[in-house]
Amino acid sequence: MKLLFVTGTDTGAGKTTVTRAVTAALCARGLRVAALKPIETGCSFGPMGLEAADGTLLRAAAGNWLSPGEVTPICFTTPVSPAAAAVAESRPIDLAALAEHIHTVAARADVTLVEGAGGLLVPLDDRTLTADFVARLGARLVVVARDALGTINHTLLTLSEAARRALPVAGVIMSRVSPQPGPDAASNASAIARFGRAPMLGTLEHLPAGPRLAQLAAAAAKLDLDALL
Ligand SMILES: Nc1ncnc2c1ncn2[C@@H]1O[C@H](COP(=O)(O)OP(=O)(O)O)[C@@H](O)[C@H]1O
Ligand SMILES: [Mg+2]
């Protein structure tokens, strides 16, 4: 049972895209993968009730063997941090129950990837940051960084906070969010590898909109996935 927590340098860094791709690639290796988005904010009502967009994508990448409620047990409609959404919707998050749920699912899988909301210091309640919850879970971190200008500072700050808290880091994965790499793209990964003191697992190439699972799996197969196992 391997438990990985996917955090980002911020929201929109590529966590869901990278988690889907890694999940699809590990499934293609014959592993049973659980991909969870345990707390999702900004959910909307669809024909099946409250729907978690990230959770739906992650569930499909793993082959739909978990129920939507197992993938995303906590959905808020308010598009803010989990702590603020819980207050806005008067629904406190039971972090002990959530940790137990994640461990129960992880016991049924070879590898479990848990996508966080935003980055490492996003609050989950008025006493708990995401980093505290990662420590409680005993998960290794995967840091997803947008491969764009500004990422070196954001990524090194995230790695520095992980090191300060002695959180183990399995590695950093960059995601090429724009089709044309900027002049910074060639140097981002090497600067992070040099100063970050964490394994650099590679850059997920830019994918077309609505990528198929085979495309996601092929792109992630070029990353150093062995570091996650
Ligand atoms: N490698 C990539 N190729 C193409 N688009 C990407 C890539 N990585 C991220 N994106 C796009 O960037 C946006 C944010 O990515 P997402 O994975 O949803 O980030 P997060 O989960 O961290 O909020 C999405 O529109 C997504 O499709
Ligand atoms: Mg996401």
The per-residue pLDDT for 84 is: 97
182: confidence class by pLDDT, cuts 50, 70, 90: confident
Q: What is the mean pLDDT of residues 51-72?
A: 98
Burial class (CB in 10 A: 0-12, 13-18, 19+), 134: buried
The per-residue pLDDT for 151 is: 96
The per-residue pLDDT for 223 is: 98
The per-residue pLDDT for 17 is: 98
188: confidence class by pLDDT, cuts 50, 70, 90: very high
2 annotated active-site: no
Q: Are 37 and 115 in contact (CB under 8 A)?
A: yes
The per-residue pLDDT for 165 is: 98
51: confidence class by pLDDT, cuts 50, 70, 90: very high
Residue ranges of domains in the chain, CATH in brackets: 2-228 (3.40.50.300)
pLDDT at position 208 over 90: yes
Atom of ligand 1 nearest to the CA of 20: 17
CB under 8 A, 24+ apart: contacts of 189-195: 189/147, 191/152, 192/145, 192/151, 192/152, 192/155, 192/156, 192/159, 195/152, 195/156
Q: Is 157 in the pocket of ligand 1 (CB under 6 A)?
A: no
Q: What is the mean pLDDT of the chain?
A: 96
Expressed in angstroms and rounded, the spacing between residue 174 Cα and the centre of ligand 2 is 14
- Any idea which residue has 């850059």 for tokens? 203
- The C-alpha atoms of residue 25 and residue 182 are separated, in whole angstroms, by 27
- Radius of gyration for the chain, computed over Cα atoms and rounded to the nearest angstrom: 16
Expressed in angstroms and rounded, the spacing between residue 13 Cα and the centre of ligand 1 is 6
- The C-alpha atoms of residue 73 and residue 192 are separated, in whole angstroms, by 34
pLDDT at position 181 over 90: no
The per-residue pLDDT for 1 is: 75
Burial class (CB in 10 A: 0-12, 13-18, 19+), 2: middle
Residue with the nearest Cα to atom 17 of ligand 1? 14
Give pLDDT tens digits for 12-32.
Answer: 999 999 999 999 999 999 999
The per-residue pLDDT for 78 is: 97
Q: Is the dihedral of CA 44, 47, 49, 51 positive or negative?
A: negative
The candidate with the shortest Cα–Cα distance to 8, out of 134, 186, 179, 164, is 134
pLDDT at position 185 over 90: no
Give pLDDT tens digits for 112-169.
Answer: 999 999 999 999 999 999 999 999 999 999 999 999 999 999 999 999 999 999 999 9
Q: Is 155 in the pocket of ligand 1 (CB under 6 A)?
A: no
pLDDT at position 192 over 90: yes
Where are the extended beta strands (E) located within 20-102? 33-36, 39-40, 44-46, 49-51, 74-75
- The C-alpha atoms of residue 48 and residue 74 are separated, in whole angstroms, by 15
pLDDT at position 213 over 80: yes
48: confidence class by pLDDT, cuts 50, 70, 90: confident
